Amino acid sequence: MKTAEIAQRYLDYFEKNDHTIVPSASLVSDDPSILFTIAGMVPFIPYLTGVVPAPYPRAADLQKCIRTNDIEEVGKTARHGTFFQMLGNWSFGDYFKEGAISYAWELLTSSESDGGLGFAERDLWVTVYEDDDEAAALWQRIAGLPAERIQRMGRADNFWTTGQPGPAGPCSEIYFDRGPAYGADGGPAVDDNRFLEIWNLVFMQNSIDNVRSKTEFDIVGELPNKNIDTGMGLERVAFLKQGVENMYETDQVRPVLDRASELSGRRYGADHEDDVRFRIIADHVRSSLMLLSDGVTPSNEGRGYILRRLMRRSVRAMRLLGVEEATFPALFAASRDAMKESYPVVETDWERLSAYAFAEEETFLRTLSAGSTILDTAVEKTKASGGATLAGDEAFLLHDTYGFPIDLTLEIAQEAGLGVDRAAFDALMQEQRQRAKADARSRKRAIADVSVYREFRALGETTFTGYTDLETETRVLGVLVDGQATGRAAEGQIAEVILAETALYAESGGQVADRGTIVGPGYELEVLDVQRPVAGLVSHTVEVTRGEVGVDQPATTIVDAANRRAAQQAHSATHLVHAALRDTLGKGATQAGSLNRAGYLRFDFTWGQALSPATRSEIEEIANNAVRDNLEVTTRVLSLEEAKSAGAVALFGEKYGDTVRMVDIGGPWSRELCGGTHVARSAEVGLISLVGESSVGASNRRVEALVGLDAFRELAAERALVAELTSALKTPKEQLPARIAELTASLKAAEKKIAAFEARALAERVPALAQAAERIGAVNLVAQSIGSVGSADDLRSLAASVRERLGAEPAVVVLTGESGDRVLAIVATNEAARAEGAKAGTLVKTVLERLGGRGGGRDDMAQGAGTDAASVPAALDAVRAALRSA
């Protein structure tokens, strides 16, 4: 049964059962906290949590997903794949456990001729949550499963949560028995390789709070509307129905693997290492194709970096199979043909998708050719010298100069039995980022001799077209790397590019440089900075994100329009705030510096004292009144003397030539010399919100403001916060300060009472802990984990009390407790135990070695903390062993 047919049978079945069939959401997640759609439930989270009312009572879908956390495991197991498809059926306050179980069982076990999936009932097992008697009973009644094929599991396996307070619930998982050739009998609890999970039914019925870990939380009630969330792994069902060993051998993946086998001349199944490489190629090519189809393109950041890494791992795997020429035309075409039945877009948009894929491979093959030789030499040199670690500067040289990815350096070094000094590499990368992407002034390259620019400046001034155009066609005049004219720069390199014309604004007058790109035939450059290293010449600091750029190539500068528009708003707002300051404080408030970028402005001025709240409000109101009045913004180019005669205010730190550009907002009210970009009328600035006023040195003050949508969002957030507080505290907003002060006082009093209560509760545990003492040699030992504890002081007090309770006989008390994400440990000994050689300072180190922490203390009392809570039993056993051998 083909994969597409399995999916269609699923959707047809649920459509017959009154489910709305929902199209797959994009692989690019709407959730800003994650790059991709990583699970079938992601698009439905707003409905499951009740944040958004569900538009249908029941639904079913086939959702595309991408996970790359275990990318290194791809190809090594039957389970790990980056792209996968999840079938799901959903109920939002409609049917519940009985319906979900009935639907799943009927679809799985109905014959293929009746539209089902045709699984034999004897091969299916289920697990339920340990306390879910209802689900266990339903499985027996609906499916007729014997009790021994219904296994109960704990929270770690069969209870679903988001990891946050809110909706949660028990799960029931359906497993397929692959037979004795795959492992031991006894169900999923015994061997989850033989017994393969194919479908998970989540019964979202509970509300949880006080979430401490995946398994530690409080179930505080039941949800008023119970939901069903299920997920059936399409690839897993496919390889079971197709009678193959793993997902890589299914009909949607195997064609790529077979094509790679043909190209390499090596047979799949003949060699384990080659098989892993074949599976990597098959998985990564398909994943790359699907990411491209959802609009992701290769780059060095975010989603684009993940795509680039998948594609480059594929190229690398083909090279390890002996193929050094381009293979993507064949491999991607094979994946297209395998996937087009389910996703027609991979065929209809083939021209675009293949162009990106083929160009990426071509570029990377050039990178590999140069980088591999250098890396192989470095590896041989390291091994010859007896070293076990490749130097970090070698790895950085490969990355920075040749664009060789650190991921491949790590893999190749590992294959050669070497590590890589990743700390040194990361430190060098951080230095580079600081040079390339920090504040504009700090990221300018320090070049003492500007003569390198002479030949380019001799060609004439760089023409700035950005006042009227956001795109400009031009040509490359020069390329510099590390301050030297090289004539070209390759992918991954940071370079300076000199152009004849540019629409990209170079930082000046307080306005930061434009964001944008420079593109040309076969290359793309990300603009990191734009500066004027010498008068009349513009230099673009770029990262080559694709291809190779060289002198005399055509180029098009493309300004990030949204960022430019927001920067213009901020720059014009700076002029308005300056004029408002002068209106309010007088002409003595002269400019001492400014910075404006998208959504934000900072303005420094000479003034000897802090501004009162009333003065700040007045300045803000004057500036916003100017916005309301929709004043015309005009620019004129005239002589410096004419501009000064007209009353223009010169900007701090700027040098002016014989002719200047004068910007008026509302005529003479705001008249400044300025080379920056501006809005056409003041109303385009939008809202101006002063958010800060501070000292920046003797007789200098600074105001900061948010502008436009950023200002609106900030005020809207404050309004929402006030509304939330007034609602929660049932207090008018005018009375909020007094009410919050009252609550703060009450909270402090309550915290004291709680601390006293916890101390009493701990004290009440002393008799039971002392009663649990065990005899080890000559010593009475209390070694216990007491669970959650407020602080180390509480644990230490408890240990001292238990030690005293044990009397004069040799006694050792070892207690652990969890506080936040730390595991606290205390060891206390009495005088008689110390006489027997049991010393607290030594024993606490024994404990903390197992807990992944450090500590120490005196012979009678010692303490410390670790992070590995799972190792507490082993740590306590280590103390017992130490006392036995004493």
- Residue positions forming the annotated binding site for Zn(2+): 571, 575, 674, 678
111: which 2 tokens?
């014959």
Q: Give the β-pairing of 501-502 and 548-550.
A: unpaired
Measured CA to CA, the distance from residue 607 to residue 692 in angstroms comes to 15
Would you say 129 and 161 are in contact if contact means Cβ atoms under 8 Å apart?
no
Would you say 868 and 852 are in contact if contact means Cβ atoms under 8 Å apart?
yes
Measured CA to CA, the distance from residue 217 to residue 332 in angstroms comes to 47
Would you say 244 and 257 are in contact if contact means Cβ atoms under 8 Å apart?
no
Q: Coil, strand or helix: which one is 172?
A: strand
Measured CA to CA, the distance from residue 211 to residue 691 in angstroms comes to 36
Q: Coil, strand or helix: which one is 170?
A: strand
List of long-range contacts for 855-862, beta carbons under 8 Å, 24+ apart: 855/825, 857/827, 859/829, 859/834, 860/828, 860/829, 860/830, 860/831, 860/834, 861/796, 861/799, 861/800, 861/826, 861/827, 861/828, 861/829, 862/826, 862/827
Residue with tokens 């901020």: 570
Would you say 824 and 786 are in contact if contact means Cβ atoms under 8 Å apart?
no
Q: What is the DSSP string of 663-694?
A: EEETGGGEEEE--S---SBGGGG--EEEEEEE
Measured CA to CA, the distance from residue 782 to residue 325 in angstroms comes to 68
Measured CA to CA, the distance from residue 449 to residue 451 in angstroms comes to 5
Residue numbering of the annotated binding site: 571, 575, 674, 678
Residue with tokens 């595309």: 64
Measured CA to CA, the distance from residue 812 to residue 806 in angstroms comes to 9
> Looking at residue 733, what DSSP letter applies?
G
Q: Could you tell me the CA-to-CA distances from 635 to 219, 467, 535, 573, 648 in Å, in that order?
A: 66, 11, 22, 16, 12
Closest CA to 65 of 261, 231, 270: 231
The residue type found at 402 is Y
Q: Does residue 440 come out as left (phi exceeding 0), alpha (psi in the -120 to 50 range) or beta?
A: alpha
Direct distance between the N- and C-terminal alpha carbons of the chain, in angstroms, rounded to an integer: 66
Count helices and strands (H / E) in the chain: 26, 35
Measured CA to CA, the distance from residue 276 to residue 66 in angstroms comes to 20
Q: Could you tell me the CA-to-CA distances from 572 to 4, 172, 337 in Å, in that order?
A: 57, 60, 54
Q: Give the β-pairing of 124-129 and 150-153.
A: parallel
Which residues is 608 bridged to in the sheet?
none
